[in-house]
Amino acid sequence: MAASTGSLISMQSRHGMATSRICSLKPVSLSNQGRSYLSFGLRSMPARSLRVSCAAKPETVEKVCEIVKKQLALADGTPVTGESKFTALGADSLDTVEIVMGLEEAFGISVEEESAQSIATVQDAADLIEKLVEKKD
């Protein structure tokens, strides 16, 4: 049995088959075929692997949502959430570059091209921003 505290944990199987989000955590037990495991970061486990990561702060996600709406000139009623994919919002590769540039300016960070290419969703962007801001401080 493993216990964990925090505001949000996101779990995804190695092969992308299942994703779970746990908010406002209380003690949590993670098990696989009757065996209990807890993994932070990437770690191999028998039969399956889990990636457990703490998500960005809600205010960071909200700020990224606003920047994405502005860069893509989305209508006021268009829903944009952490799970929103840039392509689903109509962004092409040039739009994505402009979004990243807007994020760099708004947060005072510099995103390497390799990292920028891994951003597919608003949540991906927010998580990367918090990582880069933390490194900067």
Show which residues are catalytic: 92
Query: Token match 């091209």: residue?
Result: 113
Q: Are the CB atoms for 63 and 106 separated by under 8 Å?
A: yes
Spatial CB neighbours of 18, under 8 Å, sequence gap ≥ 6: 12
In sequence order, the β-bridge partners of residue 20 are 11
Question: Residue 46 burial by CB count (10 A; 0-12/13-18/19+): exposed, middle or buried?
Answer: exposed
- Amino acid 34 reads G
